[in-house]
Amino acid sequence: MSSRRLVFVTGNQGKLNEVRAILAAGTPPIEIESRNLDIPELQGTPQEVAREKCRRAAELIGSPCITEDTALCFEAFNGLPGPYIKHFLQELGQEGLNRLLVGFDTKEAWALCTCAYSAGPGTEPLLFEGRTDGKIVPPRGSKNFGWNPVFEAEDTGKTYAEMDMEEKNKISHRFRALEKLKAHLLSLTM
């Protein structure tokens, strides 16, 4: 890695806090510079949405950057709402996400982080995915970030909102995606 700084383009403070903490805690630590831009998101699969957002972000800022997209995927809906979870959460709220699944046998879900890295304008972004399995439950814990209170992570008995950030950052979809990004960036310096 030529420098241990990365520009993260996001309009979401919760994501920024976690990405910063995860990358600062790694070896070597990577410092995040943030650009608060709301990049329009095209419809498509999580991979298409992620790749296009990163391409546009790099063009807008004129330099290498990372972006990330977080999908919350319901087993009963074959992976939807997926990348559209933001709008479902905005319109229906946390209770509404639970109500959607009434009548379905499975409440299983997975959180998917697709982190995209662009080496600069005009280059094809690379994608790094991280997934954490769990289920959708009635809200528990602090209501400070997105759908954290309604996602109970597998084998923990806790919703993301019942974990402190350090605990979440050890098992989260975001941590798993960033581990892969880090491995890639380190391989570039060898």
- Based on CB atoms, which residue is closest to ligand ITT, 105 or 166? 166
Q: Is 11 annotated as a binding residue?
A: yes
Cα–Cα dist 111/139, whole Å = 16
**Quick check: 148 and 159 in contact, CB under 8 A?**
yes
Residues 26-55, one symbol each (x = binds ligand ITT by CB under 6 A, - = not), give ------------x--x--------------
**Quick check: 174 and 19 in contact, CB under 8 A?**
yes
Does position 77 interact with ligand ITT (CB under 6 A)? The reply is: no
Q: What residues between 82 and 111 interact with ligand ITT by CB under 6 A?
A: 85-86, 89
**Among 4-12, 19-27, 74-82, 94-102, the segment contacting ligand ITT (CB under 6 A):** 4-12
Residues 147-186, one symbol each (x = binds ligand ITT by CB under 6 A, - = not), give xx-----------x-------------x------------
Q: What angle do CA 153, 14, 115 make, to 5 degrees?
A: 75
Closest by CA to 177, choosing from 80, 112, 91, is 112
Residue type, 116: A
Q: Is 12 annotated as a binding residue?
A: yes
Largest CA distance in the chain: 53
**Quick check: 117 and 138 in contact, CB under 8 A?**
no
As annotated, the binding site includes 10-15, 41, 53, 69-70, 145-148, 168, 173-174
From the annotation, which residues make up the binding site for ITP?
A: 10-15, 53, 69-70, 145-148, 168, 173-174
